[in-house]
């Protein structure tokens, strides 16, 4: 059954795919809570959405790697539940793991994994009690493969993928939809057309929203990535590791 969400909370909403989620949801008539660190960007987006779509938009400026600021968002989800939670906030630190600062890796895990788990835990019980609702977790195609050069990022996205598919199985029969969105390379600005590798952020956001509304556990946007997914799942892991290792070393040698 397709669900239409009247209220939604979107993290990482000030730019990129998160901004596209907010615009698409507002266009569908959903009242929003938009969360990100940059209050100025959120305020500008909120004004635009209210004026254009006549929806209510609440701005929450918060650094979700800060436990105290994150706790405010958790309390907001419990006290005033939304029908859809979009866990979009995340980032990647790229380079050889041993050469990157440990604090950057731990902050990446804090945002990409811990925050996602905590916000989902704040929102999901109320959805189960009401018998409807959705959680859309932004993972990545990197979650399906080894990721030399972005080892921590790939591992966090593999966690998000596994976590989301497991929750989907737990709550689907209770009327709650949990979906992992796994985009490939995505342009975060709108001034470049899609090509063989790169997707448009609006197309990615739309694919995720349509998937969670219809109760699909997994969304892989883009025909090129849909075609690649069966191979990624079927290729023996030693061959897959060898392929990505070659790509990593070629990229490293070209720098």
Question: Which DSSP symbol is given to 217?
Answer: S
Q: What is the pLDDT of residues 174-229, one digit of tens each?
A: 999 999 999 988 987 765 565 677 899 999 999 999 999 999 999 999 998 898 88
- For the chain, how many structural domains are there in total? 1
Give the CA diameter of the chain: 55
Active-site residue among 5, 53, 153, 159? 153
For residue 68, being part of any structural domain is answered with: yes
Residue that is written with structure tokens 């600005």 in the block = 189
Percentage of residues of the chain with pLDDT beyond 90: 76
Strand ranges in the chain using DSSP code E only, listed in sequence order: 7-11, 31-36, 57-61, 84-87, 133-138, 176-181, 186-187, 199-200, 218-219
- The verdict on residue 156 lying in a domain is yes
Which residues span the domain enclosing 153? 7-254
- 207: buried, middle or exposed (CB in 10 Å: 19+, 13-18, 0-12)? buried
**pLDDT (0 to 100) of residue 232:** 81
153 classed as catalytic: yes
| Residues paired with 137 in a beta bridge | 87, 180
Q: What is the CATH number of the domain that holds 14?
A: 3.40.50.720
CB 64 within 8 A of CB 70: yes
- Among 14-23, 36-45, 180-189, which stretch is predicted with the lowest mean pLDDT? 180-189
Would you say residue 115 lies in a domain?
yes
Tens-digit pLDDT profile for residues 164-173: 999 999 999 9
Nearest to 240 by CA among 140, 145, 141, 143: 145
How large is the C-alpha radius of gyration of the chain? 18
| 2 domain residue, yes or no | no
Picking from 17, 46, 49, 33, the residue whose alpha carbon sits closest to that of residue 85 is 33
């Amino acid at each position: 059954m397709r669900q239409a969400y009247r209220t939604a909370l979107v993290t990482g909403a000030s730019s990129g795919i998160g901004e596209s989620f907010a615009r698409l949801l507002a266009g569908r008539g959903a009242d929003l809570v938009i969360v990100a660190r940059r209050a100025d960007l959120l305020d500008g987006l909120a004004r635009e959405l209210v004026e254009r779509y006549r929806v209510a938009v609440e701005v929450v400026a918060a650094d979700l790697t800060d436990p105290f600021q994150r706790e405010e968002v958790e309390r907001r989800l419990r006290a005033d539940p939304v029908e859809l939670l979009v866990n979009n906030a995340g980032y990647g630190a790229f380079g050889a793991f041993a050469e990157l600062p440990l604090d950057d890796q731990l902050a990446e895990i804090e945002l990409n994994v811990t925050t996602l788990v905590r916000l989902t835990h704040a929102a999901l019980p109320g959805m189960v009690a009401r018998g409807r609702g959705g959680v859309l977790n932004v993972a990545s195609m990197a979650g399906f493969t080894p990721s030399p050069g972005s080892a921590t990022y790939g591992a966090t996205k593999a966690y998000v993928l596994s976590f989301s598919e497991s929750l989907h199985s737990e709550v689907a029969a209770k009327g709650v939809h949990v979906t992992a969105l796994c985009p490939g390379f995505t342009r975060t600005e709108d001034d470049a057309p899609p090509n063989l590798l790169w997707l448009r952020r609006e197309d990615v956001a739309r694919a995720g929203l349509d998937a969670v509304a219809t109760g699909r556990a997994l969304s892989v946007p883009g025909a090129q990535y849909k075609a690649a997914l069966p191979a990624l799942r079927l290729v023996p892991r030693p061959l897959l590791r060898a392929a990505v290792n070659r790509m990593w070393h070629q990229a490293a040698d070209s720098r």
